[in-house]
Structures are given as C-alpha cells and as structure tokens.
Copies of this chain bind each other. A is one copy, B any other.
C-alpha cells in the first residue's frame, strides 16, 4: 500500500491544491465562479453549444481550448442523432463531477490510483415529456452510478474516496437537490 505524500500524485499538484484552498479560506471572494454555455439551434432537435470561458478567482478566464458540443434526439425519437441527447449530457456531467472529485481527494489522501471507471445509467419514461400521462414526471425516475476503483489502498479506503467525492460534488448536489432556474425570453 502506497501512501506517499509527494507533491505530485495521480497527476494532481497537491501543494498547489492545498495552497489554493488556503488562499480561498483567507479571501472568500475568490470562491465566486460563474460558468457559461452558449447554445444555438441548428435544425429540428439538433443544436450546438460552445464553451469558451468563465469567471472565477476574481477575474475572467479563457479555457485552454474552446469546446463545441452537438446535442440532438436519436432517430427513434424523430431526431437526426447528430450528438448525444441532452439527458445523456446530464448523466455525463454527474459521472465526470464525481470522477474529478475522486481524483483530487485520492491525491490529497496520498492514495495512488491505478484505474477508476464509472457507469451512469438513467431510467426515464417518455410519457412525461410527450405529454401522455400527467402522473409521469418529465425527467429521470432515478439514476444509478457504479464506480470501479483500483488503487494502492484497502478496499474500504478506496470506497471512501467515492463517498467523499459524493459529499463534495457540485453536480451531485444539483441533480439530487435541485436548483432555482430562471428562463427568460427575448423575441426582439
């Protein structure tokens, strides 16, 4: 079992990580972030989003690379399947958030990871969004995430990484607890 406390573990610079946390503790305004996405309709259910930058730690930032994301409905739902469905992007956001958190937490705890995978599955009854049954919700009925974690620690400590990530995940919080969303329209 490896419990190295090297400054760099699992690709995480833990010295910088701890320094960042200390900086935010002393200057709480650095913790204010705003993330943004711009979406444009292409045709039918096909649309394209661009992610370029964000605000945080007191200033604007550009991402290293701009990301373009196509979303669509599949043919079976009368779409053109030019990309994943929005619902799949939601599942991805959840899995990715838990995974990114786990990477940081393992490094902070000095646990070297060998391989970590996660599957995310969401069940949905489309009678909701099709307006066919008022008793059926629009969204997923439930989501299941299953992690497989291999690393230099006992099973119990590896499992604890997932639990800690879950307890500190931005997307897990939003998806399980909900968040206020305002939707405005300009037609000019």
Contact = CB atoms under 8 A, between A and B. Distances in A.
A180 B41 contact: no
Interface string A73-99: 111111111111111111111111111
Interface in A23-81: 24-25, 28, 31-47, 49, 51, 54, 56-57, 61, 63-65, 67, 69, 71-81
Interface in A104-156: 104, 107, 113, 115-133, 136-150, 155
Contact of A120 (B37, B73, B116, B146): B37
A103 B46 contact: yes
A31 B139 CA distance: 12
Nearest 10 CB-CB pairings of A with B: A11-B43, A86-B97, A11-B44, A139-B173, A71-B96, A139-B174, A41-B116, A89-B93, A138-B173, A155-B187
Given A35-B91, A86-B100, 19 more contacts: A10-B44, A11-B46, A32-B126, A39-B119, A54-B85, A61-B76, A63-B74, A65-B83, A71-B99, A73-B100, A78-B104, A87-B171, A90-B171, A138-B170, A140-B174, A140-B179, A146-B184, A158-B187, A166-B183
